[in-house]
Structure 1
Amino acid sequence: MAGRRCLLAMLLLLAALGPVQATPLDSAPFDSALDLVTGNDFAPFTGEDLPEGGLLTEIVRRAFGEVGLRYEVRFMPWRRGYDGVLAGKFLGTFPYVRTPDREMEMLFSDPLLEVRQLVYLSTHSGMVFRTPEDFRGRTVCAPVGYALPAELAELAAAGALSRESPADLPACVRMVASGRVDAFVIDEFTGRSAVAKAMAGDEIRLAPLPYARAGQHLILSRSLPEAAAILAAFNVGLRKLKDGGSFEEILRRHLSAAP
């Protein structure tokens, strides 16, 4: 417990220092048994089969490293990882977009990356997309552990659209490609990679208008006493990573290898 209090104090000091050169925390008298957790099938951002575990896995590790913190990253189903963070089995998880429900349970880092959310439509569906209201009466796919955009979540809660929730994103791609559902909404990089991997380019079309822009975040449970201090230190490391030029190099390397 004394070690945890020491770490908390050092993290708060680091957060207060902001971009000033901070003392590495490698020697902090605290040995966390908690790992970070993320999921698969989210290329180019996260995945056991991707270089460095994916673009955002490398960014999270490198940002923590900038402030002298080291955490292992484990891969498992998204819902299991999220629930494990809530239960205190894992330190945090990523990448997640903000939703009202998640903000009740989790604290969010600064954005790891901002991305465009696009609408991927079945060529077997006559659906067009201009506004979220175009989803009314349609069926949308979002895997277990994935959040619908807020407007679509409200439509689903009101029974104005149907949601299919298979175990993973590849299943959503297959369902849209077959015409079983009308659409799925996801960031442009993950969507492009998933459609290419499924070789479903002839069955899936892209809506001309993007749905929205969204930030991807590292999240920690609000019930973790040092969560705010750890995220403050992480944000310092993320700023250092971006200001030093390493961030752009990581982006170029991962995105150049993506489909």
Structure 2
Amino acid sequence: MAGRRCLLGMLLLLAALGTARAAPLDSTLHLVTGNDFAPFTGEELPQGGLLTEMVRRAFGEVGLHYEIRFMPWRRGYDGVLAGKFLGTFPYVRTRDREMEMLFSDPLLEARQLVYLSTHSSMAFRGPEDFRGRTVCAPVGHALPPELAELAASGALTRESPADLPACVRMVASGRVDAFVIDEFTGQSAIAKAMAGDGIRIAPLPYARAGQHLVLSRATPEAAAILAAFNAGLKKLKDGGAMEEILRRHLSAAP
């Protein structure tokens, strides 16, 4: 117990100083992320994707080093809650997630766009336009809060296939009306599925959303680790490395 208290104090001090000299208590645990989320994460992407490189380098800025594993999104998230993994990324804030997880500062903020089927008459001016429609969000992906409420009340139907490419195909074929995701991932997913002819983008963006690293609230040192991570993330941004990472990965995206 004394060792844990000492470690927590050390992590908080290191976060304040912006540097680290020792690994945290859970250095034997790994971070976890998922596939089919280009250009942000994916085993097949350079450096594991834009946000994978960003997370690894932000921790490295404060001397902390973790292995990053790839697995299905739901399994990774549940593994963090169960204490099998230290943290996972990237996740947007939702009310349910905030009850279970602590969130880092935003890794990146991006526009969420509404991708509509060319076979559907649906137009998008606001969340109420989803009423009576069918929306696709893969297992482990959250709907925007307004759409989650509509789905919970039965006012819209949610389809949840195993991955994002399946959502793209379902929308392109007209099986569902739409999916909502950030502009970079949407563009990459459509290009990969070669489904551009079956999908149109609503002129009005849905919202802007931040992508975060999350750690379980049940992890005693989670707040201290996130404080250290945020310090490393700030060093990346202030030193100009963040711009280089973004430019390199986004220029290679479809």
1:9 paired to 2:9:
yes
For residue 52 of structure 1, report the CA deviation from its aligned partner.
0.2
Contact 1:3–1:29 (CA under 8 A) maintained in structure 2: no
For residue 228 of structure 1, report the CA deviation from its aligned partner.
0.3
Contact 2:14–2:20 (CA under 8 A) maintained in structure 1: no
1:156-175 aligned within 5 A: 156-175=151-170
Equivalent residue for 1:24, pick from 20, 26, 49: 20
Q: Which consecutive unaligned segments of at least 5 residues does structure 1 have?
A: none
- How has the CA–CA distance of structure 1 residues 59 and 28 changed in structure 2, closer, same or farther, with 3 Å as cutoff? closer
For residue 204 of structure 1, report the CA deviation from its aligned partner.
0.3
- How many percent of aligned residue pairs carry the same amino acid? 87
- TM-score scaled by structure 2? 0.97
Q: Which consecutive unaligned segments of at least 5 residues does structure 2 have?
A: none
Aligned counterparts of 2:241 and 2:227: Cα–Cα separation in 1: 20
1:134-153 aligned within 5 A: 134-153=129-148
For residue 31 of structure 1, report the CA deviation from its aligned partner.
6.5
- TM-score scaled by structure 1? 0.95
Aligned counterparts of 2:4 and 2:198: Cα–Cα separation in 1: 53
1:79 paired to 2:74:
yes
Equivalent residue for 2:239, pick from 239, 244, 250: 244
Contact 1:35–1:92 (CA under 8 A) maintained in structure 2: yes
Count of aligned residue pairs for this structure pair: 254
- How has the CA–CA distance of structure 1 residues 71 and 142 changed in structure 2, closer, same or farther, with 3 Å as cutoff? same
Q: Structure 1, residues 138-171: CA drift from partner, whole Å, max 9, x if none?
A: 0000000000000000000110000000000000
1:38-77 aligned within 5 A: 38-77=33-72
For residue 9 of structure 1, report the CA deviation from its aligned partner.
1.5
Partner SS for 2:80: helix
Superposition RMSD in Å: 1.2
Q: Structure 1, residues 171-227: CA drift from partner, whole Å, max 9, x if none?
A: 000000100000000000000000010010100000000000000000000000000
Contact 1:176–1:182 (CA under 8 A) maintained in structure 2: yes
Aligned counterparts of 2:104 and 2:253: Cα–Cα separation in 1: 25
Aligned counterparts of 2:71 and 2:202: Cα–Cα separation in 1: 31
Which runs of 4 or more aligned residues in structure 1 lie more than 2 Å from their structure 2 counterparts after TM superposition?
Answer: 1-7, 14-17, 22-25, 27-31
